[in-house]
Amino acid sequence: MSRGRLIVLEGGEGAGKSTNARFIEAWLRQRGRKTQLTREPGGAPLAEAIRELVLHWHGQMPAQTELLLMFAARAAHLQKTILPALLADTDVICDRFVDSTYAYQGAGRGMPSEHIASLEAMVLGELKPDLVIVFDLDPAAGMARVKKRGGENRFEAEQGAFQQRVREAFLERARRQPERYAILDADRALEAVQQDLARILEERL
């Protein structure tokens, strides 16, 4: 039985993932595909409640707590949204997924990668994204975009060293698995970014 494809958009703050997720959705629909646009953390009612807690908790949150909450949200998201869509031969476009956990909670917060991998195996099983597009942007440029739109969350409020560790983690993961990842220069006009994005979609999908 055919199943839908899981297409994930990753990258640092202000890289334009949400805007380009809608571009990918339109590109797929023009080719006759059913689509499901979603995000992490979130994407299902319980997961959205956890998202609000993780992004806007006032006060210190231990890194281990943050990591476990991310996977708790992901478990609900998978069961309620992602897996049913894939089984219905619907392409899922997800704004962030497990790579963000390795980047933010791993490289950013210092949680051991083996702990993240253990939770990944428990929650995701054998599921892997079919394509991960990393929207690469200098953290300073990304944070300028965030400040312009306003309303920072806990991750957007982190300082430059944290954001640089996150960026490097995304790039390293992409370089290790070029067959499933594509790196896109997001520090350009939207039209230029989407021209490259269309080329990646044509080549990979």
Residue 1 lies in a domain: no
Residue pointed to by tokens 């975009």 = 145
CB atoms within 10 A of CB 133: 27
pLDDT of residue 134: 98
pLDDT of residue 156: 82
pLDDT of residue 88: 97
pLDDT of residue 103: 98
Mark the ranges of the chain whose per-residue pLDDT is less than 50.
Answer: none
The count of structural domains within the chain is 1
75-125 pLDDT, tens digit each: 999 999 999 999 999 999 999 999 999 999 999 999 999 999 999 999 999
Domain coverage including residue 157? 6-204
Residue 119 lies in a domain: yes
CATH of residue 58: 3.40.50.300
pLDDT of residue 1: 61
